[in-house]
Amino acid sequence: MGVLNVTPDSFSDGGTSVNAARAVKLGLSLVEAGADILDIGGESTRPGARPVSAEEERARVIPVIEALAPRISVPISIDTYKSTVAEAAIGAGAAIINDVSGLRYDPALGAVAAGTGAPLVLMHTRGRSGDMYREASYYDVIAEVLDELRESIGFAIGAGVPRALLVVDPGVGFAKHAAHSFEVLARLHEFADLGCPVLVGPSRKSFLTRAIGAATAPTQRDWATAAAVTTAVLEGAHIVRVHAVSEMLPVVRVADEIRRYHQES
Q: What is the pTM of this model?
A: 0.93
Q: Which of 19-23, 118-122, 128-132, 158-162 bottoms out in mean pLDDT, i.e. has the lowest? A: 128-132
Spacing of C-alpha 47 from chain mean position? 15
pLDDT tens string 31-47: 999 999 999 999 987 76
Percent of the chain with pLDDT over 70: 94
The angle formed by the CA atoms of residues 201, 194 and 82, to the nearest 5 degrees, is: 55
pLDDT, position 104: 96
Q: Measure the CA–CA gap between 246 and 17, rounded to whole angstroms.
A: 18
The mean predicted confidence, pLDDT, of the chain is 93
Closest residue by Cα to residue 131 from 170, 81, 175, 101: 175
pLDDT, position 167: 98
pLDDT, position 18: 62
Query: Rounded to the nearest 5°, which phi and psi values hold at 74?
Result: -100, 155
pLDDT tens string 164-205: 999 999 999 999 999 999 999 999 999 999 999 999 999 999
Write out the H or E segment, with its range, that includes residue 200.
strand 199-200
Q: Write down the H helix ranges in 82-140.
A: 83-92, 108-116
- List the catalytic residues: 205, 241
Q: Is the pLDDT of residue 12 over 50?
A: no
Q: Contact 140/181 with Cβ under 8 angstroms?
A: no
Q: Which domains does the chain have, with CATH numbers?
A: 2-201+238-243 (3.20.20.20)
Q: Measure the CA–CA gap between 13 and 124, rounded to whole angstroms.
A: 23
pLDDT tens string 53-84: 999 999 999 999 999 999 999 999 999 999 99
Q: Residue 11: pLDDT band by 50, 70, 90 thresholds?
A: very low
Percent of the chain with pLDDT over 90: 84
Query: Rounded to the nearest 5°, which phi and psi values hold at 157?
Result: -65, -40
Residue 89's alpha-carbon distances to 110, 161, 257, in angstroms, are: 15, 18, 35
